[in-house]
A and B are shown apart, each in its own frame.
Chain A
Amino acid sequence: MEGVISLSLKEARNCYPGLLERYTKKDIGVFIYVPKDIKIRMPYITSRNPYTLIIMEPDSELTYVSENDSVSVEAYIGPGAHLYFLNLSRDSKDIYTDSNLSFFLKKSSICDLFFLDLAKNRVKRDVKVSLLEEDATSNIRGIYILEGNELLQYHILQEHKAPFTTSNLVYKGILKDDTKGLFKGEITIEKEAVQSDAYQANYTLILGENASIDTIPILEIKNNDLKRCTHGATVGQIDEDILFYMKSRGLEDKEALKLISIGFLEEIIEDISSESIKLKVLKYIEEKLEVNN
């Protein structure tokens, strides 16, 4: 499409000198540039690049789907722009997933994030959403399912730095077998970020006999003029009564567990706007729940 740039960083640096300097000094990776008013509705799907720099000019739109595990992204979302970022991570060949993502939002921009973590290894993910200007909005949704002896470590930061900003996070995780999870979700609201609306919810379902979870939802609030600032977290297991009911209707243990798990995650799956990706996510989740069950 007109003016859209998608190049390696090295090439971009040669072709468009001066454009990258403000954002990164890195040379290895991919550069995506969406000019003003350009709306890319088709998902941009990639599978393997270590680092991606996304620059979105005012009122542009981009859907970016990465199926790479160790994805590192820095995205600068211009005024009124809309980034829809999905990271579907599964069947990793790496032994270690280390992912660093930062999103910087300008005035009235929107950043929708979705993370699916089914990776069969150790996952470490740091996500930062920085709401720099008025009316910026970020919705973060995530699902993780761990089995075997997988480990997962999450740190998500929702940073409100300007008035009338909104951030909203809902995460659901299922821990099977001997897995361990650590989920640290942090909301910071600076003094100037009046009328902010910050929400964070983290629900964990423990299925494994030896699974464990640490959840640490942190709030740091330096301002009293807020629309809302709330976080909630729950940890629990499947309700015996529900399981009993389903079994009394002729379902097997396995099948019942799978249905309940999907029901638990459904709220988040439903939120995915792209129909094709929604089906893909559902398929991946079903596959993951099938194994060893």
Chain B
Amino acid sequence: MREVSFNMKRNRSLSTRPGRIVLIVTILLIGILFHGFFNRLLQVIQIPLVSSATWITQRVGLFQDAEHLTQEEVARLKELEISYDLLVVQQDAMKSEYEQLKKTLGFVEKASVRPLGAAIVGRTNQDGQSRLVINRGAEDGIRVGAPVIVEQGLYVGKVRSVSQTQSIVSTLTDLDHATAVSLLNETRTIGLIKGLNGNLTVLDFIPLDEKIEVDNLVVTSGLEEFIPSGLLVGYVNTVRPDQNGPFQEAVVEPMIDIRRYSSVVVLLPLTL
């Protein structure tokens, strides 16, 4: 009887306004203290959600690609195929040269980065923001500024903030994002690439005497901490004069559509 009356009192105390506030504050405190555990718990739901929607996006993308290939695009693909073959030949030659140099100098190859796979658990692409939430955090060794790639070195973006169990990645097209890059033109133009609304990026403040052409490849320059050189960023889509000064700017189209990927790779320095 005494127990019943105690329970009734407890229920009554919870249904009052101060009781509710105490409960909400308690829940918030538990949430803050154990946020790592809750993040891991929520990721169990989030990973299949992202994977299933990415699967849909991939299928729709394939369908659209097949639908919209024009004669010009087919011709361009053929040209690219030829230049790819030439590159393979050049690469072979370079490989043997590299082997010789390695032997001559007694060079011991050291990989300077450690790849870490991560699943995407959330995204946003709104109001100029293009960010990903990944299921790896400080306890996996991730640091702010670490580069994020897909496949064999296609640059996605870099880590913007890190919590214990997950991290936020700002992708190339995010308005807040900037990465040091190099153009593969004659003069190897370097600069900062920034996000531009509409899934594009821009490389601005390029002196007018720099010769830039459409389809020039853009890669990371390696001048930024943590980000190695040679990660593929995109290719030049448009070159236009800067209306505010004696410069030109190049609109760069990213190599990848990140919505077609449900996982990424974070590159960490070996020292971490």
The answer to whether A binds B is no
Give me the interface of B with A, judged by CB distance under 8 Å.
Answer: none
Partner-B contacts on A (CB < 8 A): none
